A = this chain, B = another copy of it.
Amino acid sequence: MVERLSDAERAAFFRDHPNWKPVEGRDAAEATFRFGSFAEAFSFMTRIALYAEKADHHPEWFNVYDRVEVTLATHDAGGLSQRDVAMASVIDAAAA
């Protein structure tokens, strides 16, 4: 079982990762990224996919053309966990 973030950890996460916002009605985080083209957006997704597979932790995501909307939560924890903190950091770095 993966532990959910404490209230203090959750607050620190959103403070330190300004791309990410809480999801209404759910212990999850969402962010939207824009790129210069579909090729750039899908390259970003591919980089995240390789990380996801290695970490065995997968995003929920939506893509249309140059936009990627990502939602993070940990199914086994019923909400945000340190796995999501780690993945958000990887995603932010890939989008930078």
Interface residues, chain A, with chain B CB atoms under 8 Å away: 38-39, 42, 45-46, 49, 52-53, 58-65
Residue numbers in B under 8 Å from A42 (CB-CB): 46, 49, 53
Copies of this chain: 2
Is B60 within 8 A of A63, CB to CB?
Answer: yes
Residue numbers in B under 8 Å from A60 (CB-CB): 62-64
Q: How many Å lie between the Cα of A49 and that of B39 in the bound state? A: 8
Q: How many Å lie between the Cα of A3 and that of B58 in the bound state? A: 38
Is A38 within 8 A of B58, CB to CB?
Answer: yes
**5 A–B contacts from the bound complex (CB under 8 Å):** A38-B52, A42-B49, A42-B53, A45-B45, A46-B46
For residue A87, give the distance in angstroms from its CB to the closest CB of chain B: 13
